[in-house]
């Protein structure tokens, strides 16, 4: 299945274009451009789409050349808790 079909499938899984745009915090025009210009989903949105579709759409569907398995192993650095000063 090509990347555009996967993008349309992701849109459908998330409840349509308005819901997809809201979930990714993008404008409807941006999504329209991706679809009408036959562009792929930008890589920075892939992990969010994968998470929101519960793995039905995976990052490799859009960017197979990227080592997403390695990226999934990475954990964000733990933030040190900032002590709250006493009142």
**For 14-58, what is each residue's pLDDT tens digit?**
999 999 999 999 999 999 999 888 888 999 999 999 999 999 999
Half-sphere exposure for 4 (CA within 13 Å, toward CB): 8
Structural contact between residues 59 and 46, judged by C-beta atoms closer than 8 angstroms: yes
Domain with residues 3-73, CATH architecture: Orthogonal Bundle (1.10)
pTM to 2 decimals? 0.76
Each domain of the chain, given as residue ranges in start order, spans 3-73
């Amino acid at each position: 299945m090509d990347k555009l079909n996967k993008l349309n499938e992701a849109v459908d899984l998330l409840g349509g274009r308005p819901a997809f745009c809201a979930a990714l915090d993008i404008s409807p025009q941006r999504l329209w451009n991706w679809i009408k210009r036959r562009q792929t989903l930008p890589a920075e949105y892939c992990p969010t789409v994968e998470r929101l579709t519960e793995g039905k759409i995976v990052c490799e569907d859009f960017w197979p050349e990227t080592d997403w398995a390695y990226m999934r192993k990475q954990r964000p650095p733990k933030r040190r808790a900032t002590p709250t000063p006493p009142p």
